[in-house]
Amino acid sequence: MKEIFDRIFERNRLNRRLHWTTIASEKVLLAIIGLLSVVASAQYIWGMFQVGEITLADLFLLFIYVEIIGMIGAFYSTNRIPVTLPIIIAITALCRLIIMQSKDMQALTLIAEAGAVLILSGAAYVMSLKDKLSQDKLEQEDRDLAESEKDKLP
């Protein structure tokens, strides 16, 4: 019985069987999120025109919509979501919150939110360094491979 259970739930075998469902559901859900982001931004722009006023908080929200759409575009072009994009979206959302509530906000809350922006900014910087180091490492491996192939030639 244990042998049958192990065969059914063998990690590699199960991963191969279910991998397509993960890819398909991820792409479908991201397409829906992208479409809904476009609809939400269009509705928000329409609301701004109806009110007849555009504030800085409105522009920040539109920028968040653009970043979400850009993140989805990055996924479809590279098949991965760069970690820095959600961090930048979070920074933008916090800045929008600070701008919208700064008049009614207590000083300690404002300092805490500014601290969160600083921490997220540091995280985005560290992640961008990691990406740069990874890219440099890949380029070095490509150069090493080219040199080793060159050395093999007669």
For residue range 49-89, list pLDDT tens digits in order.
999 999 888 898 898 899 899 888 888 888 877 778 889 88
Question: Domain limits at 119?
Answer: 2-152
pLDDT tens digits for range 108-138: 888 899 999 999 999 989 888 876 777 667 6
107-152 and 84-101 helices, crossing angle to 10°: 160
Side chain identity at residue 152, one-letter code:
K
At residue 93, φ and ψ (nearest 5 deg) are -65, -40
Q: For residues 39 and 21, what is the distance between their CA atoms, to the nearest angstrom?
A: 27
Total domains in the chain come to 1
